[in-house]
Structure 1
């Protein structure tokens, strides 16, 4: 869901000839080998991308074409780089040494990509606004392993909106139960953030806080037409990932939390 929505945003930016910058605050290692021992052991990919690869739904073709072109399963940095034109730039931040090393190898000698071994939240002040480019996208995709991740996301969005008004902000977040998500939304409203769109994809109702029941992508300053494009992508994912399980209750929600 995150990657398919990311490509919708990047495609929107590419409609204008001027260059743009993508800042990925939690880049990870860039790409993943689904034939690895770990991937084969969990097998999680089989119920995700494994069900989608043969899809012919037009709404998913940008994403699936990128996955096929890149070979290994791409993370957000690899997908973003695939979408760049010669005039565009990617800045990727990663804090963990075990991830930043393969990330550096992946983009070795690539003049359009810069890698920063640092905390992505702390890097926002130093890296925004982007040098030489007036347009862009900031992707925030933390692991949500800490209790304050939603709070940090809300603070980061406020900072980005103050330093990079022309930029799009996209934040991926897990949905286990509704209370943390509602608090996140309310914190953004209280901070006076405008033009907020929440796109959610649920595998099941968000009633059991011990399970990952779905996820969302919150987009601030979404480009024109994004809401309709996102709806097409999410509904295509819902159709492509559906099973014959009678308990299958996937849901798609797109809500404008705050107007422009």
Structure 2
């Protein structure tokens, strides 16, 4: 279908949560000298101009990254993420938002590798251009789910696999579970971070139930809602499901979620949620 463009949504509350979790996982993996692979199944264009027609049309970043931009009480755990965003906005004005591939590029070390895939015919060339001089990176126009078979396990036997599909097709909710199963069979010690939207709560519940039935252990759910669940159109919440999370991540997010909710949702509506949907 390929109609989804992340440029309409870049920097929104869901991106803030996703990239907070992503950066914390990367920093945890860097605590060991041994290299690791960062695999991004649905990479997008990489960089988003917040004054573009797409971003201005929705203005979603105004209720996301813009609400953190000028605050002087940022928790230490958010430093890596926000420093990555600042690296693209050197003059202090919030003009660009980096997607997950560019955040990874800034946080990874020389010995680490990036494997990025994107199918969209407009976004793929932009992504390839961003990484054309980065010898650590491989950029493919390909089905991201297939990369969970083709690229795992990495030679280093360490890695973060970010799975962030657009969910423009209902089958994505089943495809992500199948993809994780395929990857996990090949690389059971990897860290898998799955982003999901809450549009219809039943879809999310079904996906979580399917994950629970895979037999995979150590699955942590992290969710931030900006509005109560609704049967009306639109995303009310988003979350990250992390398999094999670094040992510090649960406590870090337990402390960060209330702060993020207060910062992003001044009205106090919505909720935060953190639980092990499958324990050890």
- Answer yes or no: same fold by TM over 0.5: yes
Which structure 2 residues correspond to residues 1-260 of structure 1 after superposition, within 5 A? 1-55=17-71, 56-58=73-75, 59-71=77-89, 72-130=96-154, 132-243=155-266, 245=267, 248-260=268-280
Task: After TM superposition, give the deviation of residue 229 of structure 1 in Å.
Answer: 1.1
Asked if the contact 2:68/2:263 (under 8 Å) is kept, the reply is yes
Shift of 1:191: 1.5
Q: Is contact 1:176-1:210 (8 Å) kept?
A: yes
Post-superposition offset of 1:79: 0.4
| Alpha-carbon distance, 1:77 to partner | 0.2
C-alpha distance 212-178 of structure 1, shift in aligned 2 (>3 A): same
Structure 1 residue 209 displacement after superposition: 4.6
Query: CA shift at 1:167, angstroms?
Result: 0.5
Task: Measure how far apart 1:38 and its partner are.
Answer: 2.4
TM-score of the superposed pair, with normalisation by structure 1 = 0.95
Alpha-carbon distance between aligned partners in 1 of 2:57 and 2:185, rounded to the nearest angstrom: 44
Question: Helix, strand or coil for the counterpart of 1:252?
Answer: strand
Equivalenced residue count is 256
* Long gaps (5+) in structure 2: 1-16, 90-95
CA contact (8 A) 1:25 1:94 kept: yes
Measure the CA separation in 2 of the matches of 1:209 and 1:161.
35
Q: Deviations over 1:225-259 (max 9, x none)?
A: 1101122332221121132x4xx413110010111
Superposed CA RMSD in Å reads: 1.3
Please, which moves more after superposition, 86-95 or 176-185?
176-185
Q: Distance in 2 between matches of 1:37 and 1:182?
A: 34
8 Å CA contact 1:5, 1:233 repeated in 2: no
TM-score scaled by length of structure 2: 0.88
Measure the CA separation in 1 of the matches of 2:131 and 2:237: 31
**Contact 1:4–1:233 at 8 Å: present in 2 too?**
no
- Cα distance, 1:101 vs. partner? 0.2
